[in-house]
Amino acid sequence: MKLSKEMRAFQVRIGHDFAQPELLVRALTHPSVSSPNRQDNQRLEFLGDRVLGLVMATALLDHDKTASEGQLAPRFNALVRKEACADVAREIDLGSVLKLGRSEMMSGGRRKLALLGDGMEAVIAAVYKDAGFEVAQAMILRLWGARIHQVEDDARDAKTALQEFAQARRQSPPAYVEVARSGPDHQPIFTIAVRLDDGHEERASAGSKRLAEQAAAKALLARLEQKT
């Protein structure tokens, strides 16, 4: 199989030339454009998630030989979650080579966090199947780069940290409420308010409810920390 100019350029960006280029094509094929003769990337995504997890778990153990499981787990989660995969995907412009159906293209699929994260995991699996674990590991470590060494000692996501803050003070879990929605249907902006029993509240907006909730929780934590 001969790759397009765009696909060859993408190979350069990830630092791997495929011996089996069909694996790369499959990794970048979203279910919206799959057919009986064209496999999508969902199975590769499943595998890539596991390969990424093993690489990151090993890297974290090697980087900090004294860290406890309680310290390592949140760092691991910060490095493998969908947001991290999507960030790396944006840096290598993975969205530009995604193969999408018309509806996904019209709805801004090349910029969607979930599609970028899934595509990144699928590419990892494609490299693993094409050249083995060590090559996939080297690519992951190169693309994730300083993230591995700079991940915060306490890398719990903001929602988890805020819930633990509330529990420590015998409050109910934080309440997240959608207070506004704007923008077109294919690219909405959600505004979420997070509230605690003691009346503290913050709001944040983002392109998904999940990201807006995280941003609101982070803002409220920052405000509470200023008071302590």
Q: Which residues are catalytic?
A: 49, 121
Q: How far apart (Å, rounded) are the C-alpha atoms in residues 143 and 113?
A: 17
DSSP 3-state of 179 = strand
Nearest to 158 by CA among 197, 112, 89, 204: 204
66 backbone dihedrals φ, ψ, rounded to 5° = -115, -5
| Residues 6 or more apart whose Cβ sits within 8 Å of residue 169 | 198
Nearest to 42 by CA among 126, 103, 101: 126
- DSSP class of 31: G
